[in-house]
Amino acid sequence: MKKIVFYSIALFLMVAVSTPVLAQGKVKIGHINSNQLMEVMPGRDTALTQLEAYAQGLEDQLKVMNSEFETKYQDYLANEATYLEPVKVSKQQELVDLQNRITDFQSDAQDLLSQKEAELIQPLIDKAKNAIDEVAKENGYTYIFDTSIGALIYYQDSDDIMPLVKKKLGITE
């Protein structure tokens, strides 16, 4: 149902925006599936290989940390009865601290992996976008739709109505 509403609104906006252009007879619409394009982009396999290697390095580091925790935990369990109370508390705190470091590392690793993915994939996305823009301009396309997401990804130079809309809404920033 939400998709139907979304597509109805998108169709309405497309018709509303393109009606003046249609009257001039200058509309040329194209489409592309950016997911399919990205799958065949030169350099994609290299980027994915580098990303997998980076992820493996992070995973290996996590395994080392978990192994260290497990070793210290087993040592604590084996010797707990012999520890004096201050030593026991110290060992428990050490285990808690190590567990917190592991948790922090897992969170940081996700962020680092996302950053690395963006670093490796963004140049491919930019290259694809530039190619789409160039093809659209060279072939006189007015609009290019991305069929993988249903989004308008290219448009000819036009008036930015943002200032007019902000004024209409009383937004002064």
pLDDT at 162 over 50: yes
> What pLDDT, on the 0 to 100 scale, is given for residue 131?
87
CA distance linking residue 33 with residue 3, whole number of Å: 18
Q: β-strands 143-146, 29-32: how paired?
A: parallel
When pLDDT is cut at 50, 70 and 90, the band that residue 52 belongs to is: very high
> What pLDDT, on the 0 to 100 scale, is given for residue 157?
56
Handedness of CA 36, 41, 47, 49 (dihedral sign): positive
What pLDDT, in 10s, does the model give residues 58-111?
999 999 999 999 999 999 999 999 999 999 999 999 999 999 999 999 999 999
> What pLDDT, on the 0 to 100 scale, is given for residue 110?
96
What pLDDT, in 10s, does the model give residues 96-107?
999 999 999 999
Give the residue ranges of DSSP H helices in 25-171. Answer: 34-39, 44-79, 85-138, 162-169
When pLDDT is cut at 50, 70 and 90, the band that residue 172 belongs to is: confident
> What pLDDT, on the 0 to 100 scale, is given for residue 156?
60
pLDDT at 13 over 90: no
The pTM of the whole model exceeds 0.75: no
Q: Roughly what angle, to the nearest 10 degrees, separates helices 85-138 and 44-79?
A: 170
Residue 46 · residue 152 · CB < 8 Å: no
pLDDT at 21 over 50: no
CB contact burial 21-55 (16+ within 10 A = b; e otherwise): eeeeeebeeeebebeebeeebeeeeebeeebeebe
> What pLDDT, on the 0 to 100 scale, is given for residue 32?
84
Residue 132 · residue 153 · CB < 8 Å: yes
pLDDT at 170 over 70: no
